[in-house]
Amino acid sequence: MIKAILERYRQGHRTMAYPDAPLPLPPRFRGLPQLDGGRCAGGCKACVEACPYGAISAEGQLTLDMGKCLFCGDCSRACPNDAVSFSNDAVLASRSREGLIVESGKEFQPASGLEGELLRLFGRSLKLREVSAGGCNACEADTNVLSTIGWDLGRFGIQFVASPRHADGLFVTGPVSENMRLALLDTYAAVPEPKLVIVAGACAINGGPFKDHAEVHNGADGLLPVDLYIPGCPPAPLTILDGLLRLVKKIH
């Protein structure tokens, strides 16, 4: 016991200071897409053809749907004029599905917070039941990181709980396979009203690489009323944390 205490003293405070201090991200991190319509050569469509999931469109205005995007960077590499790139900005969450669509010349609006009675109920304490609805465990792993000492999600009053009856809402990952559809709906029904639904990752938002497969339902968006969308494949822990904090207005 003494050795453990001395070792903790030697290591010092290890929980990161975000959001009070910026969090360094690796140089190769692909965050918020940057679209420059002025550089886009009309009719080229190299980026559109390079995207395997139809996330980018050059019809009229150059747009990229982060709900479909896997952040693979193929579109950026294919563009001969550098009209498509990815920044180091990890703030990606939105309260609406349409809010995930990035447009050239238009500033991205991060997720807004809850209002009124929902903010009063969940602003200081938010308990979530995670449902992995056929995911590959990448989103789940990055979510689990938030409960470690380095992130300490609980210091913000946000925690994951074992029972939906003790939860304020669902945190859904995965494309919602047919085998998990009923389990997801039953878990949602077990959460007492009022309740929230948060979807994390391209699979939970739009089906990800499994979109339109016969055995998946293209995410939870068509099955449940969604309150927060967190894009990525998988979303970085910082993207998840930032979205959750904006939802409960710990960040404005």
* DSSP 8-state class, residue 177: B
28 token code pair: 């190769």
211 token code pair: 């979109």
Residue found by looking up tokens 């559109």 in the block:
48
- Identify the bridge partners of residue 50 per DSSP, sorted by sequence position: none
What is the widest separation between alpha-carbon atoms in the chain?
A: 69
What structural domains does the chain harbor?
A: 116-247 (3.40.50.12280)
Phi/psi for 57 (5° steps) reads -135, 140
Edge to edge, the sheet with strand 63-65 lists 56-57, 63-65, 101-103
The Cβ of residue 66 has, within 10 Å, a number of other Cβ atoms equal to 26
Q: Is the pTM of this model over 0.85?
A: yes
Q: Each residue's pLDDT tens digit in the chain (252 positions)?
A: 888 778 777 767 678 888 888 887 888 999 999 999 888 876 788 999 999 999 999 888 899 999 999 999 999 999 998 999 999 999 999 999 999 999 998 999 999 999 999 999 999 999 999 999 999 999 999 999 999 988 999 999 999 999 999 999 999 999 999 999 999 999 999 999 999 999 999 999 999 999 999 999 999 988 999 999 999 999 999 999 999 999 999 987
How far, in Å, CA of 112 to CA of 153, rounded? Answer: 19
DSSP secondary structure string, 132-149? ESS--SHHHHHHHGGGST
The Cβ of residue 231 has, within 10 Å, a number of other Cβ atoms equal to 28
